Amino acid sequence: MPEKTDLYGLTYSKFSEDSLAQVRLEAYGPDIGQNSWTLKSEYEGFLQDLGLGAGRRLLDVACGAGGPALFSARTTGCAVVGVDISGNGIQTATRLASEAGLSDRVTFQVLDANSTLPFHDGTFDAIICVDAFIHLQDRLVVLNDWRRLLKPKGRVVFTDSAVVTGLITNEEIAIRSPNAKCVFSPPGNDERLLRDSGFQLLRMTDSTTAMAGIAGARHSARARHEEGLVALEGKQLFSGFQRFLDCVQRLAAERRLSRFVFLAERL
């Protein structure tokens, strides 16, 4: 097997470069610094579902370069702790928090979210994890820990972008998992794990069609900025990423790999 490229790390180290910022703007519309299958409008819905406001504390699991965490703090007044395994992501997020004058309310730490996290019981009112559940394998451990970290009646929103809802080839699985461990789950598995870890599922939304649209839009925007992106990423990585986006778009459009949004409450 070839070495996996740290695509997330590379993206986050150059997150503020013009071509990447321009691609986000063209692909997502309003750019909230996301690196996911989420538009600003969907993310605003998440914040509403989580009941965030001043005095509340949010944990953003796998926060990437911190854009959505900063957006959460800015728009709701809440405090946020963001964690991610990418050192480059956390470095960029910390810089952006400082530039935004939000370092007193929004902090970031390098942590592996695939295990228990070093925070006290009941530290948070809400947890959000957008498009990173695919990277979490020990899900019962993770969900039990999220339950521990939440206050009673605390809420969680997470998305699973890799629910297998059709036939997928080994080649497609390889293209869909270019840069990190990826876990593909059968329908019903996340719901069962939520129940087993003491959460009540409040709502599950199928957002597969939106994922197909966003993957297609990212692919087209990147193609328009090929020259600038190749200068940042190199030709091989650029082509690999395009292949990845094309694969996500096709699998989602054909409803073979689906994305679900889960909203749950701690019992």
Ligand X SMILES: C[S@@+](CC[C@H](N)C(=O)[O-])C[C@H]1O[C@@H](n2cnc3c(N)ncnc32)[C@H](O)[C@@H]1O
Is there binding between residue 259 and ligand X (CB under 6 A)? no
In the complex, residue closest to ligand X by CB: 64
Is there binding between residue 131 and ligand X (CB under 6 A)? yes
Nearest distance, CB of residue 68 and ligand X, angstroms = 5
Burial class from Cβ neighbours inside 10 Å (0-12, 13-18, 19+) for residue 236 reads: exposed
The contacts of residue 18 (CB under 8 Å, 6+ apart) are 228
Is there binding between residue 183 and ligand X (CB under 6 A)? no
Is there binding between residue 73 and ligand X (CB under 6 A)? no
Residue 60, SS3?
strand
Is there binding between residue 162 and ligand X (CB under 6 A)? no
Is there binding between residue 36 and ligand X (CB under 6 A)? yes
Amino acid at 85: I
Among 35, 76, 94, 249, binds ligand X (CB under 6 A): 35
Size of the site for ligand X (CB under 6 A): 21
Residue 61, SS3?
strand
| b/e sequence 159-189, b meaning 16+ C-beta within 10 Å | bbbbbbbeebeeebbebbbbbeeebebeeee
Nearest distance, CB of residue 138 and ligand X, angstroms = 10
Distance CA 83, CA 59 (A): 8
- Cα angle vertex 95, ends 123, 75, to 5°? 55
Nearest distance, CB of residue 152 and ligand X, angstroms = 26
Among 85, 141, 168, 253, binds ligand X (CB under 6 A): 85
- Chain residues that interact with ligand X, rule: CB under 6 A: 8, 34-36, 38, 62-64, 68, 84-86, 89, 112-114, 130-132, 135, 180
